[in-house]
Copies of this chain bind each other. A is one copy, B any other.
Amino acid sequence: MMEHTEKAPNGVDLEALIGTVAAVKAAPSLARFRFRVHNRWVAGAHSKTTIQGFYGTGKEDASRKNPFVLEGDEPPVLLGGDAGPNAVEAVLHALASCLVVGFVYNATVRGIGVDSMELDLEGDLDLQGFLGLSKNVRPGYEGIRVICRVKSSATDEALQDLWAYSQEISPVMDIVRNPVPVFSELKKA
């Protein structure tokens, strides 16, 4: 974790960030990333995801010595063993953590100091879709609400503008708000 110093305002290495943007501008192919996860079913609703390598800046990344392991499960009322948050909760986590990165990085570029930032997200989901009880009910979230509370000495206008921009360039906000093509295949092992 970087300290909040003059060299790293908001804990962001500003020089490195500016360098990254310039490098990608000069060679756009550096911006091509491929992220990956591997998931293994345990039992019932419980599965484990391991996350380690990815491709980006023209090469396979080797910086992670150990994989991250995320547990997915359902709570008892959804017939799981509650070994981890469920999949739609994980989506809200992804959206929150994505908005934070975009907000803090761009705050830093704009010279805005962020003292604290907290987000509350909620999503409404009608289980009739997942249970196959109605074709008129979508399986996913009908809607998501995000409330972001920021402490900063910047003006409200500057923060609102930054917040709007953070959503615009947020990969997960884009994934949630807009269609992503998914290719899928089942192979008998």
A residues near B (Cβ < 8 Å) are 1-4, 8, 10-13, 16-17, 20-21, 24-25, 28, 30-47, 49, 51, 54, 56-57, 61, 63-64, 68, 70, 72-98, 100-102, 104-105, 114, 116-134, 137-152, 156, 159-160, 163, 165, 167-189
Contacts and interface: CB of A to CB of B under 8 A. Distances in A.
Nearest to A91: B94
Contact of A41 (B34, B93, B118, B165): B118
Contacts of A114: 41
B104 A94 contact: no
B170 A139 contact: yes
A186 B163 contact: yes
| Residue of A132, A134, A139 with most partner-chain B CB within 10 A | A139
Nearest to A172: B87
Contact of A151 (B11, B72, B96, B189): B189
Contacts of A46: 1, 11
Contacts of A82: 63-64
A169 B130 contact: yes
A68 B74 CA distance: 12
A115 to B, nearest CB: 8
Given A39-B121, A146-B185, A127 B24 contact: yes
A10 B107 CA distance: 48
A71 to B, nearest CB: 8
11 contacts: A10-B44, A31-B126, A47-B97, A63-B75, A72-B93, A86-B101, A87-B98, A90-B94, A146-B183, A149-B187, A150-B188
A151 to B, nearest CB: 4
